[in-house]
């Protein structure tokens, strides 16, 4: 059985920290679940780390559904959260409900995530009332990066901090089962975490959050354009892959690959028969 939103709330109550990672394909999702990750986000960050876009803004519903399906196929017990892409929920409530439902019905996700605080609280309420669990997302909201003026820490002034606290409360009151805090000062994130009854999931928001989420490609050293300050590299897979590929190229060129071990034989009598046949 997959992890449920009730399980996540119980983890907060017990003080058990929640480890969440992104995944965008069947194999990475399978590996993460085998490692013990039970909360997986199919984030619109796939636009940058998988599809090569310069931001999350161009990501479409079709792209999200495609990747969510792959991740769902690679898991059995993980709770899969599907990101709602830019303009899939900002236009009106009907669009938000329809698109959120699509990520569950067609993609197979168990819940959705959308960005914003008080300004989307009514949308969150409507989506939740339709039977779709919602994870909120405040602080740095990448879909609004053009409006925010870049990827910057949010909530550093007293007014901005108060607004984030109000945003978090509004999402909880609207029925969100959890909220992501991105690029929020650690002390402020701790304050928000203490005041909410729902779990907070931090990314660049300090250790006091109820859980943490990171981008798979950042942790594994696969995304080499830059390394965010909030990410810790647990592996350097890009270098390992480059080294392996270079070794393969060398083996092909010097004919040490494929060897007899990677080749298949055939019956000698058949070879003899073929050798005796006239060509043409």
Q: Annotated catalytic sites, by residue?
A: 182
Can you list the positions of beta strands (E) in the chain? 18-22, 39-42, 79-83, 111-113, 134-139, 178-182, 200-203, 211-214
Give the C-alpha separation, 20 to 28, whole Å. 13
Give the C-alpha separation, 251 to 236, whole Å. 23
Q: Which of 215, 143, 200 is nearest to 167 (CA)?
A: 200
Give the C-alpha separation, 58 to 170, whole Å. 28
Give the C-alpha separation, 89 to 98, whole Å. 9
Query: Nearest 5°: phi and psi at 184?
Result: -120, 135
Quick check: 113 and 106 in contact, CB under 8 A?
no
Residue found under tokens 């740095």: 140
Q: Which of 200, 243, 201, 203 is nearest to 219 (CA)?
A: 203
User: Beta-carbon neighbour count of residue 273 at 10 Å?
Assistant: 10
Cis bond before residue 14 (omega within 30° of 0): no
Give the C-alpha separation, 108 to 81, whole Å. 10
């Amino acid at each position: 059985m997959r992890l449920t939103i009730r399980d996540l709330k119980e983890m907060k109550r017990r003080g058990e920290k929640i480890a969440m990672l992104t995944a965008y394909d069947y194999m990475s999702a399978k590996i993460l679940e085998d490692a013990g990750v039970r909360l997986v986000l199919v984030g619109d960050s796939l636009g940058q780390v998988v599809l090569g876009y310069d931001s999350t803004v161009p990501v479409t519903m079709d792209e999200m559904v495609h990747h969510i399906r792959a991740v769902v196929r690679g898991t059995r017990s993980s709770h899969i959260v599907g990101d709602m892409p830019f303009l899939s929920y900002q236009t009106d409530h009907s669009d938000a409900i329809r698109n959120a439902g699509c990520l569950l019905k067609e993609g197979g996700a168990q819940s959705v995530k959308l960005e914003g605080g008080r300004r989307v609280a009514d949308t969150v309420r409507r989506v939740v009332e339709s039977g779709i669990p919602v994870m909120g997302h405040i602080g740095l909201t990448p879909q609004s990066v053009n409006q925010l003026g870049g990827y910057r820490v949010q909530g550093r002034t007293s007014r901005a901090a108060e607004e984030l606290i109000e945003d978090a409360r509004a999402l909880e009151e609207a029925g969100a089962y959890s909220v992501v805090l991105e690029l929020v000062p650690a002390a402020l994130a701790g304050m928000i975490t203490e005041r909410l009854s729902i779990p907070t999931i931090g990314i660049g928001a300090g250790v006091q959050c109820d859980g943490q989420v990171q981008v798979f490609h950042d942790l594994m050293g696969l995304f080499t354009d830059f390394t965010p300050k909030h990410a810790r590299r647990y592996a350097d897979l890009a270098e390992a892959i480059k080294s392996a590929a270079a070794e393969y190229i060398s083996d092909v060129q010097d004919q040490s690959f494929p060897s007899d071990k990677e080749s298949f034989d055939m019956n000698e009598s058949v070879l003899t028969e073929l050798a005796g046949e006239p060509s043409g």
